[in-house]
Structure 1
Amino acid sequence: MQKAEEARQYLAETDPIDGDPLLLAEVGITAPTLAEVASVVHAAYTQWQQIGAAIEAARLGAKSAIYAAATIEEAESIAMEVAWPAIWRQLWVSKNC
């Protein structure tokens, strides 16, 4: 969260200074300049907010349905059929397979 906040502040400033330690650590790795690093970090954070919201909706919906299930078998069936967002499945597979 600190890195995302540094990026937000950097991009909002009219005359930003080079005092953001987490962003500075990425200069030359993530992007060539501090401004570009801030842009990349901000874009990634924004994307994860959207993905996180979709994951949270799927998780909480499944949790509610599982609590309402009449049998263990019904609860297990619900758990196996959670409709995870496509982007989450892609990220999980690329990270774990």
Structure 2
Amino acid sequence: MPGSVVPHWEEGLVPAVLAPDYQRIMDVLVGGNGICGEAMDCRQLAAAVGLEPVPAKVEGVRSKAKRLAARGWLAEERPGLFSVPVGRGGGS
């Protein structure tokens, strides 16, 4: 949803506090796609959440993933490659 706020991650928060688009990204990276714990790039993430991996959709996913990383929900292992830090994904 436009303008949704992503809270800074802290102990005890679960992805359920996030807007649905952010929850889908977290679910994919936590293991909802069958690749538990593996880092993914934004094209892979876009496809995994059911979006066509075209530049406009990939950029939207990149923006959301970067926001999640800036707030501590995700780790950006290198530019454009995201994963869930240990202990930050469960409970959605």
For normalisation by structure 2, the TM-score amounts to 0.32
Give the strand-richer structure, 1 or 2.
2
Q: TM-score, normalised by structure 1?
A: 0.31
If you compute each CA radius of gyration, which structure gives the higher value, 1 or 2? 1
